[in-house]
Structure 1
Amino acid sequence: MSKEGIFNSPQRRAQPVTEHKQPGGRQHVSPPVHQPMPSSSTEGFFQTPPIILNQLEDDIALQRSLRLFLSDPIRDGVTPELHAFGDRVLSEPVMTLVADAERNLPYLKPFTAWGKRQDELITSEGWRKLSTIGIKEGMVGIGYENQYGQYSRPWQFCKYLVWTGSSCWVTCPSLMTDGVASALRKHLSDPTLQGQSREAMGSAYERLISRDADLAWTTGQWMTERQGGSDVSQTETLARYAPELSEAEAQSSGSDGTPLGPWLCSGFKWFSSATDSQMMMFLARTSSGISTFMAPMRRTIPGTNETELNGIQIQRLKNKLGTRALPTAELVLKDVRAYLVGTEGQGVKEIATVLNVARVHNAVSAIGFWGRGLSIVRAFARVRKVGLKPLSSKAAFVRTLAKLHVEYKANVLLCIFVASLLGVVEQPQIAAYNEAMGHSQQGTTAIDATTTLPSPAAAEHVFRLLTPVLKGLTAKSAIAGLAECMECMGGVGYLENDDMQYNIARLYRDVNVCSIWEGTTDMMAHDVLRVVFGKTSNEVMSAMDDWVGSALKTADTSLQLAAVKILSLWGKWKDDVSSRERGELELRSRELMERLGDVVMSVLLVLDARSDSDEVAAHAVSAWMDFKGYSAPHTGNWQKLVERNQAVVFRPQGPQDAGETRARL
């Protein structure tokens, strides 16, 4: 192999030396002639395979988020676990499971050989084992163990981000499981909840948050019907209270042994993911309006050791662009035995708890896919050569990567910021649950009021405003970002590569659902306006105003220009919201959401840079303001811009620097 490590020697072969007679009798010996040889399937150029590094060592945005949002003792405690997990998700055994899940798609066996309806759903071994990994690694459980108090959520979602690219969307059941567990915890905190409802909810809750794969449940969350995805006001699934059980129902129970519920629910659900889950939470209409219900997916067959679906028929599985390993179905509900969750007629309010948690998961999933794509591109840029020069030295290419990386970092910071807000907001609920259940308080429960986070009193208002912003913007950024990642890899990026480590096309297919699940982008923008003009509008705006001002007022000198510009952007956003008619704001709602997101992400980038005066973090602020058009055009030393872009993408480190990375964290 040549010194460059790229061009293989069989391409050129020396021909025999030739002697020529020169005038005067002198002999001239011609040098060997290197005759080009054709390439073949075994000879010629072969690209050196990229080496994708552990994300903890290679992803600057993840490193900085851990540093910014976790206290030093907690970060030191979780770093070894995250490093080991970062190796595991890239390992050959896990990639083999991903390939199996992608190759062996779920399918339905509706009938037995003798014509009896059974609706047996078959999923791949890869899907099932990936699901088990997620459960055991605590992708839901970390948030409920609450070992680190308010810091449990940012820790959970940093680990979740690393998992996403290898999860093959087993995170979809995780996001619904987390949201439903949060809703059930709220009701279990109410001492007036008694009887079989408490028994059923308590049993389900313990299973949803468990890390024991033999005990743990996942859950579906079903709202979508044929008339529209997010418009639940026209729900056609009907529920009636029917506490008198038939003889067979009285002898049956849920698969966890709890009695069947007193409500009978019938209808049709058009788009139901996690069809292989053990329970479901769904909306149905009663005489009092839209209500929330929960039920086990299966019930025991009296007199046998077998189970059957709890009044559910799987009509068919959906054929989708991505998320192919995830079984998504159309479901017929016929007399499903279920329990009412919360107050009858308040189903939309009840399901909002589920949606807020699920939207954080959706956002981290989107950014996790993008982060994996960027990891592949960085690895490729390190080994790919154009001519005789490394691709990583090409200024225009690295500028493109720098733009992607600062946008990615801003989105990662936004994700973990909102996850941190969730960690603060839910601490009182966790305390109420522990008190109601007679549990001792666990973990670090003190809430820090720092400039990184709003005050505890304001955190809930900021969380409510930024959750739809987070969900709406991260999805669109990740979809566009992964399209760029495919292009950066050229034709290889477009291929459905059997080696799942490098398959960006799969990541791109899978990330596209993030802008649709749990509400489309325009719906998120509308939700932002609902908060801004809602009953708590004054409190929300005051909380945001205090946080932005507090976060920027002490920015060091090198960040002052950025801080002044960000304050100006925030002031302009507030003026637009307060001075324009509601109809015009509705027309421009997506633009308003994007501008608000820019303000918050800009603040977070400044907070990160000022937290330790890190030079690369300051470069990220400069590049963000530059690429967003918020700074004056550069007329000075263009070489400095090239160096800045290199630093933003490739902080000088490699596998040998892992110890230094962990020390820096």
Structure 2
Amino acid sequence: MATRPISSSTKGFFQELPVLLPLFTTSDTKTTNTESKPADAISDDKAFARVLSLYLPSSAQQPLHAVHNMSRLSLRPDILVHSVDADINSPKLRPFNTFGQENKNDPLWTTTGWKALKAVYQEHGLISAAYDTRNQDWNRRVHQFALEHAFICAGAMVSCPMAMSDGAAKLLQGHLDKADGDQPGLNKVVNEVFRRLTSNNPREAWTAGQWMTERSGGSDVSGTETYARRLNDSELAEEAQKGRVLDAHGMPLGPWCINGFKWFSSATDSDMTMLLARTDNGLSVFYAPTRRSVHSTNNALPASELNGIRIQRLKDKIGTKSLPTAELELKGVRAYLIGKEGQGIKEISAILNMTRLYTAHSGVGYWARGLQVCRAHSRVRKVRGGLLQDNPAHLRWMASETVKYTAAMHFAFFGIAMYGALEQDPDKMVRSTKTSALIPSAKDGLAILLRLLTPVMKSQITVASVAGLRESMECLGGVGYCENNEDGGLMNISRVFRDALSGPIWEGTVSVMAEDVVRVLTDKRLGGGTIIQTVYTPWVRRILTACKSTFSAEIELVQQTLTALEDIVKSVDKEQLLFQGREMLQHLEWITCAVLLMFDACTDEDEVTTEIARRWAKSNPINPTAFQTLNGPNWKELSKMDRRIFLGASGLELANVTAKL
């Protein structure tokens, strides 16, 4: 009787190591012999390639080559070693020096890998590409976010400070030409900070923090307790005597003094911050450098220190381990007021809109890596004598996940393309692309549509990406559950999953986004409070009309859901809209993605793309009829039952308990 070989740690069956292919390959490159085939035929991420072919003109070879190269850079071992380093060596806080004095110089330690990845982002233009006005022939935001998409998983959460840096640059861009007013040096400071935020030279480029969240309010910044006070002449003179005149780069410190406490501050190691603080005239936004110069005759002592900032502790998070997130005590932070006092919410919206767009895109960026690994694994994994890529049940599962991902990809880049069109010339941005019928040419309508859909994108894509990455982990079995940092961490979906978990919470939870959508729907300043009827529905129906020859049955499904949405918005008050806020998000997401997928398919009648659109159209998570039946006074009774189901107490019992607390 023949004996079977006994396996050991060095002998026996070993799975072939999956090889990840670059996400995007341009058809116009000398490094391949595939010039005759379109990019979506030769790229590993077909959805990504099709999105780029939609929003970038075929003549825009510069951004396409840049994305091609970035897709390869993200797989290089010398880059991946920084990603692993940043993830496994979390930031450390060293609040005191050897003899117990407060460490005002360098209390926060971050790894070499984290710093190196920041430099990669800056050098390859992942911020500067959006502000390079020499490029007028293509959508700069699509160019920028395509680079981000190709690199995000190798970047180990550097995308977070980059998002805030981009948002800060966008805010300050609106103040470049404004006079100093009663704040000497303001114009020079704003222009220099903007230059550094948008520089692609790592030696001088800056990153920005965003300090808004406080213990009192969380996402609700109306509860801000941090207070800013304008220093008078005698106080400024006293500050000068203490050597507090310039920041660490020789620019003047602002005339405002800020005191308070910030509960969450991501990217605490940044060079500057935009923060909210209350003044006597209301909530206002301020620019503050994180470091200021120190006068000393001893060359052995540091030349700068933190600008009135004390890092109290670092947050211990389930994911985003490489990213320093801290609680900060602000005590005498010198700053410049940006814009008018009391207009802080209006000013900071420039950052919020930007960071929400980044958060939505991050979801598809992480999800792309999960499916990239799944494809590579399926090509080499043998099960019962055959490859996974030939297993019908496995293929059905993965195809379903790819449909969801493709919808999210189109949704995210539609928002990105709209944002870029608003920054440039909407007509010029679409004239030489396939999207002339897709993106509204009138700026007013374009801005309203983007305002409506941004919170929908942010909430729905981030939630879907978390679910999608869990599926990707399952695809690898036990390996998917492990923290695999061998081979550059390319197979470590667990790390990507942990990082993706922040998406549905960061920049406002799903409930906050639902509230924001209702705010937009009922805002009389936006289309008279009827933007579904005047902006969204006309856009949907215009695109559907162009697709009716291919998707007649699917269009009927979309029309039914759109009618249900219109009826609810027209017939109920704001209170009920808030009650149904999450369903509103789902409806808007499903309709918008259906429109985008059908539009893409109709550009070339591609068989696979057409089938993806059809499968999405059959996947509506909410029955339109059931959605409409909530209409009427009965919803309050439903809400009471929701309370009892969740809390196990009647409204009266709950009131008594609350009163005792």
Same fold per TM (> 0.5)? yes
1:597 aligns with 2:589: yes
Matched, 1:65 2:54: no
Contact 1:522–1:589 at 8 Å: present in 2 too?
Answer: yes
Q: Relative to 1, partners in 2 of residues 1:444 and 1:512: Cα closer, same or farther, differing over 3 Å?
A: closer
Which ranges of structure 1 fall in alignment gaps of 5 or more residues?
A: 1-32, 430-442, 632-665
Aligned to 1:164: 152
Other structure's SS at 1:220 match: strand
Task: Specify the alignment match of 2:638 in structure 1.
Answer: none
C-alpha separation in 1, matches of 2:51 and 2:133? 19
TM-score, normalised to structure 2's length? 0.85
1:241 aligns with 2:230: yes
* Residue equivalent to 2:500: 511
Q: Residue 641 of structure 1 aligns with which residue? A: none
Correspondence for 1:564: 556
Measured at CA, do residues 151 and 236 of structure 1 come closer, stay the same or move farther in structure 2, by a change above 3 Å?
same
Which residue of structure 2 aligns with residue 312 of structure 1? Answer: 309
The answer as to whether partners of 2:128 and 2:198 remain within 8 angstroms in 1 is yes
Q: Over residues 454-507 of structure 1, what are the superposed CA-to-partner deviations in whole Å (9 max), with x where a residue is unaligned?
A: 123311011110110110111100111101111111000000112200000000
> For 1:128, which of 115, 123, 126 is the aligned residue?
115
On the 8 A contact 1:424/1:456 being kept in 2, the answer is: no
Alignment match, 2:531: 540
Secondary structure (helix, strand or coil) at the match of 1:337 reads: strand
Partner of 2:277: 284
Residues 446, 251 of structure 1: alpha-carbon distance in 2 compared, 3 angstrom cutoff? farther
Pick from 67, 81, 106: which aligns with 1:82? 67
- Note the 1:247-646 alignment, pairs <5 A: 247-248=240-241, 252-303=245-296, 306-427=303-424, 450-457=436-443, 458-499=445-486, 500-535=489-524, 536-538=526-528, 540-541=531-532, 542-555=534-547, 557-628=549-620
Distance in 1 separating the partners of 2:430 and 2:593 = 27
With 579-588 and 414-423 compared, the bigger mean Cα shift is at: 579-588
Q: What is the alpha-carbon distance in structure 2 between the residues aligned to residue 386 and residue 445 of structure 1?
A: 47
* Aligned residue type for 2:482: L
Q: 1:361 offset after TM fit, Å?
A: 0.6
Q: Please state how far the C-alpha of 1:227 moved relative to its aligned partner.
A: 1.5
Q: How many angstroms does 1:585 deviate by?
A: 1.6
Query: What is the distance in 1 between the residues matched to 2:504 and 2:451?
Result: 19
Q: Does structure 1 conserve the Cα–Cα contact (< 8 Å) formed by 2:421 and 2:429?
A: no
* Partner in structure 1 of residue 17 of structure 2: 49
1:445 & 1:405 partners in 2: Cα distance? 27
**1:146-157 alignment to 2 at 5 Å?**
146-149=133-136, 151-157=139-145
- Is the 8 Å Cα contact of residues 249 and 260 (structure 1) preserved in structure 2? no
Deviates more, 1:99-108 or 1:559-568: 559-568
What does residue 28 of structure 1 align with?
Answer: none
Q: Is the 8 A contact 1:98 1:126 kept in 2?
A: yes
Task: Find the aligned partners of 2:409 and 2:322 in 1 and give their Cα distance.
Answer: 26
Deviation at 1:372, TM superposition (A): 0.4
For residue 456 of structure 2, what is the amino acid of its counterpart?
V
Contact 2:587 2:622 in 1 (8 A): no
SS in 1 for 2:305: strand
Q: Tell me the amino acid that sits aligned with residue 222 of structure 1.
A: W
Aligned to 2:641: none
**Residue by residue, what CA displacement relative to the aligned partner does 1:361-387 show, whole Å, maximum 9, x if unpaired?**
111111101110110011101111110
Larger radius of gyration between Structure 1 and Structure 2: 1
Q: Distance in 1 between matches of 2:242 and 2:542?
A: 60
Change (3 A) 1:138 1:249: farther
1:23 corresponds to which residue?
Answer: none
CA offsets 1:133-180 (integer angstroms, 9 cap, x no match):
011111111111144446001111111111111110011000100111
Aligned counterparts of 2:557 and 2:84: Cα–Cα separation in 1: 47
The code of the aligned residue for 1:522 comes to S
Structure 2 residue aligned with 1:99: 84
Could you tell me the TM-score, scaled by structure 1's length? 0.85
Q: Are the aligned partners of 2:178 and 2:187 in contact in 1 as well (CA < 8 Å)?
A: no
Matches of 2:337 and 2:425, distance apart in 1: 24
**Secondary structure class of the residue paired with 1:34:** coil
Relative contact order (alpha carbons < 8 A, sep ≥ 6): 1 or 2 greater? 1
Q: Read off the aligned partner of 2:555 and give its amino acid letter.
A: A
| Residue 199 of structure 1 pairs with residue 198 of structure 2 | no
Q: Quick check: 222-231 or 111-120, which moved more?
A: 111-120
Q: Which moved more, 1:186-195 or 1:124-133?
A: 186-195
Match of 2:210 in 1: 221
Secondary structure of the structure 1 residue equivalent to 2:446: helix
* 2: CA distance, partners of 1:261 / 1:70: 42
Contact conserved, 1:403 with 1:627, CA < 8 A, in 2? no
Work out whether residues 366 and 478 of structure 1, in 8 Å CA contact, stay in contact via their aligned partners in 2. yes
Segments of 5+ residues of structure 2 without an aligned counterpart are 25-42, 624-661
Q: Deviations over 1:506-562 (max 9, x none)?
A: 000010001111111110011000001002144733222232122111115232222
Identical-pair percentage: 39
- Paired with 1:230 and 1:131, the residues of 2 have a C-alpha distance of 27
The alignment partner of 1:558 has SS state of coil
Number of aligned residue pairs: give it.
585
The answer to whether the Cα contact below 8 Å between 2:179 and 2:186 also exists between their aligned partners in 1 is no
**Which residue does the alignment assign to 2:171?**
183
